[in-house]
């Protein structure tokens, strides 16, 4: 069962054999013996790729769930012995992870030397099941009801620009006036549709004029800091610049409702002890950080 799951996860027999430290013929024999015992084909094999059969997909999902339960049980025993161990896979939004999650890693690893952390920082929402993610930090309303969510706080949107830009162009008194300004567009928030504001007691997207699109928040803020235009960013993304007066805000009275921030993990199974210990230490620290934003 373990070999089969690893073959599927790695996408090839040869890659799985290398990771498991087995020869390719030995792993092929193990897979064939499993299929004979089950009386069903699990994988369709070609010279180029492996694909799961319909039964193979169902069996794979059951196997992965069972192995997760075994891992959680063994990890729980480790907590009782005081030796939490294993790999924790985490994902978080790029800049939020860089600013607020990454600083938590070193103290955690120092306290738990048998734990390894694999962190993916991306503004793309990854599939926790397909990518084998143990814990994710999500900003915004949650779409997947199968996830267990722990509230951490909330973040607002802030419209801001460099003082030099405001001095040259003036501050817009109303969101509709943004069409007369240059707005720098962040692809990570679907800003191609416009910017979200609260207008006449309802939230709606307001058209903007732009000459710069970017999928990296830090790069976008850098252009704004240099006087290139106006940005609408999450509060945590520009907090330091606002404090330093490198950027100053506008349209505060029209800001949309804040977005919730959660730590989420897959439901329907025992939470591995390595993840539970991490949550016990990180949740309070992240709540304290978000309370300042």
* Interior/surface letters 147-167, b for 16+ CB within 10 angstroms, e for the rest: bebeebbbbebbbbbbeebbe
pLDDT score for 293: 55
Half-sphere exposure of 285 (CA within 13 A, CB side): 14
Is residue 184 a contact partner of residue 246, using CB atoms and an 8 Å limit?
Answer: no
Say yes or no: do domains 84-154+259-292 and 157-254 share a fold: yes
User: CATH: 3.50.50.60, 3.40.190.10, 3.90.550.10, 3.30.70.920. Which one for 157-254?
Assistant: 3.40.190.10
Query: Taking the complete model, does pTM exceed 0.85, yes or no?
Result: no
Let me know the angle formed at the C-alpha of 284 by 108 and 111, rounded to the nearest 5 degrees: 15
Rounded Cα–Cα distance for residues 96 and 119 (Å): 12
CATH of range 2-77; options 2.40.240.10, 1.10.8.420, 3.20.20.70, 1.10.10.10: 1.10.10.10
CATH architecture of 84-154+259-292: 3-Layer(aba) Sandwich (3.40)
Structure confidence at residue 201 (pLDDT): 81
DSSP-assigned states of every residue in 198-233: EETTEEEEE---EEEEES-HHHHHHHHHTTS-BEEE
Tokens of 3: 């070999």
Annotated domain spans of the chain: 2-77, 84-154+259-292, 157-254
Helix pair 2-10, 24-38: axis angle to 10 deg = 120
Question: Concatenated DSSP letters for 72-125?
Answer: HHHHHHHHHHT---EEEEEEE-HHHIIIIIHHHHHHHHHH-TTEEEEEEE-SS-
What pLDDT shows up at residue 104? 96
Q: Which long-range contacts (CB under 8 A, 24 or more apart) does 255-258 make?
A: 255/156, 255/157, 255/158, 255/159, 255/197, 255/198, 256/156, 256/157, 256/196, 256/197, 256/198, 256/203, 257/198, 257/203, 258/154, 258/155, 258/156, 258/157
Q: Cα dist. 184→62, 113, 216, 222, 230 in Å?
A: 47, 43, 11, 11, 6
Per-residue pLDDT of the chain (293 residues; tens, 9 = 90+): 888 888 888 888 888 888 788 898 898 899 889 888 989 898 887 666 788 898 988 898 888 888 877 766 766 665 555 567 889 999 999 989 999 999 999 999 999 999 999 999 988 888 887 778 899 999 988 876 778 899 999 999 999 999 999 999 999 999 999 999 999 998 866 677 789 999 888 899 999 999 899 988 889 999 999 999 999 999 999 999 999 999 999 999 999 999 999 999 887 666 788 898 999 999 999 999 888 65
| Contact of 148 with 264, CB cutoff 8 Å | yes
pLDDT of residue 241: 96
Residue 14: CA count within 13 A, CB half-sphere: 4
């Amino acid at each position: 069962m373990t070999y089969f799951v690893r073959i599927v996860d790695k996408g090839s027999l040869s890659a799985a054999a290398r990771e498991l430290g087995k020869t390719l013929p030995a792993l092929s024999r193990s897979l064939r013996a499993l299929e004979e015992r089950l009386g069903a084909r699990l994988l369709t094999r070609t010279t180029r790729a492996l694909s799961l059969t319909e039964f193979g997909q169902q069996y794979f999902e059951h196997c992965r769930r069972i192995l997760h339960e075994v891992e959680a049980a063994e990890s729980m025993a480790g907590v009782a012995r005081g030796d939490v161990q294993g790999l924790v896979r985490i994902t978080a939004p790029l800049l939020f992870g860089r600013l607020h999650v990454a600083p938590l890693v070193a103290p955690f690893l120092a306290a738990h030397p048998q734990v390894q952390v694999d962190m993916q920082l991306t503004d793309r929402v990854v599939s926790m099941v397909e990518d084998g993610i143990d814990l994710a930090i999500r900003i915004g309303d949650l779409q997947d009801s199968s996830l267990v969510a722990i509230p951490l706080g909330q973040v607002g949107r802030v419209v801001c620009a460099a003082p030099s830009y405001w001095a040259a162009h003036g501050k817009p008194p109303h969101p509709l006036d943004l069409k007369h300004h240059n707005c720098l567009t962040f692809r990570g928030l679907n800003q191609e549709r416009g910017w979200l504001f609260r207008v006449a007691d309802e939230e709606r997207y307001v058209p903007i004029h732009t000459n710069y699109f970017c999928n990296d928040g830090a790069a976008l803020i850098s252009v704004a800091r240099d006087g290139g235009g106006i940005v609408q960013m999450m509060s945590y993304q520009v907090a330091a610049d606002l404090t330093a007066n490198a950027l100053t805000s506008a349209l505060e009275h029209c800001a949309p409702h804040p977005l919730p921030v959660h730590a989420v993990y897959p439901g329907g199974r025992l939470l591995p002890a390595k993840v539970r210990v991490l949550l016990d230490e990180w949740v309070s620290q992240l709540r304290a950080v978000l309370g300042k934003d």
